[in-house]
Amino acid sequence: MNSQVYSTDINKTQATVLGNLCNKKRMLTGMAVAFGNRLNCESQWFGNAQEAGCVDGKFILDIKPVKEDSLFDLASITKLFTSISALQLIEKRLLRMTDTVGQVDDRFVFLQNLSIFDLLCYKVSLQTDERLDRQTCPERLMELIFNAKAYPIQGERVYSDMHALILKFVIERIVQSTFEDYLTQSIFIPLSMFNTFCAVPESQVGRCVNYNYEHRIIRGKFQVDVDALPGKPHDPKARIIDAMGLGVSGHAGIFSTVGDMVCFAQGLLQGKLISEQFLQLIGLNRTGYSKLSGIYRQYMGLLCFSKSSVQRLSELPPWMGRRCFGLSGYTGNHMAFDPDLGVFDILLGNRCHNRVSKILPLGDEKKYPLNEDGSGLIQWPDGRKVFSSNQYVYLKDRLIHQPIYEILRERGWLNK
């Protein structure tokens, strides 16, 4: 049995530091953090699960606080569940790294010779003829997915949703069941993750953090997303796939609580899902390197980010070692593991709801009265002043990961 401790005794100074992103800078409407090792943990939550509503086209104040049982949209952290699922099948000898997609699932017409290893490691760029998130016909959506093509990687970015999405269908073909059923039987139930959902039941929607009303400024045009309803994936592709009855996708769509994510983290570190040998393989860099120009190619492991040599662009805390791995979610989440130190840190946050989350092209943010770190207020055309979460990702090291490291060290939880 796990001996995790959900604590609110983090001292006031530490809580202030950890809560700065939502309490002071207001980049996040609300958040939950957790950290620990395979046996111990602490967690805390701050801010609001919702702060605004929209009635007859006008925004109103409508506050709901984040609670211990709030359901967060994990977004791309879902990829970690997909990676673990594939590794479980490999350990059970139901799948091999050297198997090709075609050997396992012949529906993928143009990926017959792509190995499972290359699929997990982002060795190719996978593309469809049309954008998946713009489809309205389930048959056409499936046709596009099964006709995805592999191309050589161009440029520095290798990260993509397509690899995990395709792997979801491969896993379903192997286990002869839905991906949701596999996750439930092989991960959720064994780890007592009873508050984790691939499809949020209607009775639980009231617990969901609200990611709707995301504000963006794209080439000078002011946009507000009104389609990210509570309980539905914020990611457009995952939303379409779910709406068309194809189940949870492999790249996004899982909802969970901070307590369940601690169960997942500790179960992974305790060897309840995969062996220690496989755990240490996840974060090894398969793609990244630094160029003479100083530009780097993304460092990726098995569907996860690896430790990068360029910290500003890294998805992992600077104090974690070379075998660490992690993932961020667009909605504001982050999860990182260090198998050698035996620790994890978790951030479940909301950077989308009633926030200016994106300003493009790069450099346009200078047109607005924002602080140097991207925080501040932007006046919307309707007269409202909206908080900015632009550049939020660059503040996590200082405001989240470093304070967590200091607490882990203070507690004596490293290397336990």
Q: Residue 416 has what pLDDT?
A: 56
Q: Residue 7 has what pLDDT?
A: 46
- Residues 6 or more apart whose CB falls under 8 angstroms from that of 169 comprise 105, 107, 108, 145, 146, 250
Question: How far is residue 148's CA from residue 153's CA, in Å, rounded to a whole number?
Answer: 15
- Residues 6 or more apart whose CB falls under 8 angstroms from that of 362 comprise none
pLDDT surpassing 80 at residue 155: yes
Residue 180 and residue 198 in contact, taking contact as beta carbons nearer than 8 Å: yes
**Mean pLDDT calculated for residue range 239-251:** 94
Torsion angle (degrees, nearest 10) of CA 260, 265, 268, 270? -100
Question: What tokens were used for 201?
Answer: 């039941």
Chain-centre distance for alpha carbon 108: 26
Which residue's entry shows tokens 């989440």?
Answer: 333
% of the chain residues with pLDDT over 70? 97
Query: Is 213 exposed, middle or buried, given 0-12, 13-18 or 19+ CB atoms closer than 10 A?
Result: buried
The 10s digit of each residue's pLDDT in 161-178 is 999 999 999 999 999 999
The 10s digit of each residue's pLDDT in 123-152 is 999 999 999 999 999 999 999 999 999 999
Q: How many Cα atoms within 13 Å fall on the side-chain side of residue 14?
A: 22
Which residue's entry shows tokens 């929209």?
Answer: 54
Helices and strands per DSSP (H, E), number in the chain = 13, 17
Q: Residue 9 has what pLDDT?
A: 53
Q: Is 253 left (phi over 0), alpha (psi -120 to 50) or beta?
A: left
Residue 65 and residue 49 in contact, taking contact as beta carbons nearer than 8 Å: yes
The 10s digit of each residue's pLDDT in 369-389 is 999 999 999 999 999 999 999
Q: Residue 209 has what pLDDT?
A: 98
Regarding pTM above 0.85, the answer is: yes
The 10s digit of each residue's pLDDT in 23-79 is 899 999 999 999 999 999 999 999 999 999 999 989 999 999 999 999 999 999 999
